[in-house]
Amino acid sequence: MSTSTASFDTLDDLDPGQRVLVRLDLNSPIEDGEPQDNRRFERHAETVRELAEAGHRVVLLAHQGRPGRDDFVSLAGHADILAAHLDREVAFVEDTYGERAVDAIEALGAGEVLLLENTRMCEDELPEEAPEAKAETEFVRALAPHFDAYVNDAYSAAHRSHASLVGFPLVLPAYAGRVMETEYGANTAIASKEFDGRVTMVVGGTKATDVIDVMDNLGDTVDDFLLGGIAGELFLRADGRPLGFDLDPEQDLYDSQWEANHDLVEGMLTERRDQITLATDLAYDDGGERAEVDVADIDEKDVSYLDVGTRTAEAYADVVRDSEAVFVKGALGVFEEEAFSVGTVTVLEAIAETDCFSVVGGGDTSRAIGMCGLNEADFDHVSIAGGAYIRALTGQPLAGVEALKRS
């Protein structure tokens, strides 16, 4: 098995004693106006800790929510959560590039850490524009002269062409943080590594377009696609089964996706039939209890299917155990409900106990690892990225990564 290397600099290339501007992704669930701790804080703390312990003066940029939404709040609470992970103080200033921010930056000592205010409170940040345009914004031009280097650790936001992600690499020496470096390597591994044995991708979730794009891009690399979730049911509909449509007209999970994608789904199923495995049984809620039915016995859809069946889950697990590499994109069912976590958990357990290269990601799927009591150490990589993970799997460039490569 061979690997390829990324064409950007990392923290290993950073000169000592720098004042460093570091972009993180600390976007978090907000409850009662307060950010909630999550895996992102723990992961990014590794990069921040390394920089601080090396004696750099560390200034952090991050975002939270979008203007107009309930989760668009200050980062003051984020500083406290990050400080707990670092076991060192994280100062906070309610400013991003104005006088208060500059004063706090200039006063920072070696090994000290400062978090600036929510980048999305800057008018220059959000519009998706070319890096050259972002490099000319007041935000970038005002802040950059106070730094020796820029570090992008926000892989999960790297698909966005925002000022804090693509503008600074054009005007400062730029480096990838440890999260960026690790996520990029793992999430592009399916295209950049050569495996001698079977390569399997478990594909679920709610978005058919994502599934189609991933399968189209990786069809020549992956031997087996194991389908579940809403996307899997749409493929069953394409296979002639009375499935993959909405029971409630108020609930639009299937019908609009079918209308938009049915030609592609049918074409994919025809073109790659020998690579695609569909569920043979499904699970549903029967009076508060899990019940299962064979797909072949379904004459009409009269219940909502919330998971693949046990027989399907075990068959998928058998494929995993016979694989050299397994990639997971999306859940096979509503794993947040214990009764309907069987498919997702069974496959994750098989991956954990198998000596295979494994990457788990896509939306909230990685949360299932902790919820079902598995150890992240049993997986080669658990991605904290959503949209960027999908972009990587579909072969699309990531604006933040491309900007690092240009630096």
Arithmetic mean of pLDDT, 68-75:
97
Q: How many residues does the chain have?
A: 407
Cβ proximity of 388 and 364 under 8 Å: no
Assess whether pLDDT exceeds 60 at residue 4.
no
Assess whether pLDDT exceeds 90 at residue 29.
yes
d(CA 244, CA 279): 13
Q: Name 75's Cβ contacts closer than 8 Å, sequence gap at least 6.
A: 26, 35, 62, 64, 92, 115, 116, 117, 118
Judged on CB neighbours under 10 Å (0-12, 13-18, 19+), 54 is middle
User: Which amino acid is present at 306?
Assistant: L
Pairing outcome for strands 289-294 and 281-286: antiparallel
Cβ proximity of 164 and 125 under 8 Å: yes
d(CA 105, CA 103): 5
d(CA 389, CA 157): 10
In this prediction the pTM is: 0.87
pLDDT tens for 99-121 read 999 999 999 999 999 999 999 99
Q: Computed over its alpha carbons, how large is the radius of gyration of the chain?
A: 23
Confidence category of residue 389, pLDDT binned at 50, 70, 90: confident
pLDDT tens for 328-372 read 998 999 999 999 999 999 999 999 999 999 999 865 777 888 888
**Average per-residue pLDDT for the chain:** 94
Q: Which residue has the tokens 């200033």?
A: 93
Element holding 230 (H helix, E strand): helix 229-238
- Identify any residues that bridge with 200 across adjacent strands, giving them in sequence order: 224, 326
Which tokens in the block code for residue 128? 């998706």
Cβ proximity of 144 and 122 under 8 Å: no
